[in-house]
Amino acid sequence: MIRKFNYTGRKKIKRGNVHVDILRDTEGIRFFNASVSLDDINLPSGASVYFEAYHRVAYRRFDFGTVGERRVPEDRYLKNIPESVVPLFRVKVVDRTAAHGRILAAVDKIRPESIDRQPSGSQSLLYVEYGDLGQRIWELDLDGDWPVLRLNRQAADIGLVASGDDRFMALVYPEILRQILFRIIVTDEHTDPDCDDDWPSLWLKHACNLTGSPEPPSGDEEDRKEWIEKAVNAFCESNMIMERFNKAFQGSR
Whether the Cβ atoms of residue 145 and residue 124 lie closer than 8 Å to each other: no
Q: What is the pLDDT of residues 115-137, one digit of tens each?
A: 765 444 444 688 888 888 999 99
pLDDT at residue 123, as a whole number: 44
Q: What pLDDT is stored for residue 182 in this prediction?
A: 97
153: helix, strand or coil: coil
Q: How far apart are CA 112 and CA 89, in angstroms?
A: 8
Q: Given 3-state DSSP classes, what are the helix, strand and coil percentages for the chain, each rounded to the nearest 5?
A: 30, 30, 40
Q: Decide: helix, strand or coil at residue 77.
A: strand
pLDDT at 235 over 50: yes
* Poorest-pLDDT segment among 69-73, 161-165, 232-236: 161-165
| Section 211-215 average pLDDT | 88
Residues paired with 131 in a beta bridge: 152
CA dihedral 23→26→29→31, nearest 10 degrees, is -40
* DSSP E strand boundaries for 4-134: 11-12, 18-24, 30-36, 48-55, 58-66, 88-95, 102-110, 114-115, 118-119, 127-131
- pLDDT attached to residue 124: 63
Please state the pTM of the whole predicted model. Answer: 0.62
Domains of the chain, with CATH numbers? Answer: 11-119 (2.60.40), 125-251 (no CATH)
Kindly report, residue by residue over 148-195, the tens digit of the pLDDT: 898 998 998 888 888 788 899 999 999 999 999 999 999 998 888 876
More confidently predicted of 61 and 131: 61
Residue pair 49/65 in contact (Cβ under 8 Å)? The answer is yes
The pLDDT-based confidence of 7 (bands split at 50, 70, 90) is very low
Rounded distance between C-alpha atoms, residue 107 and residue 117, angstroms: 23
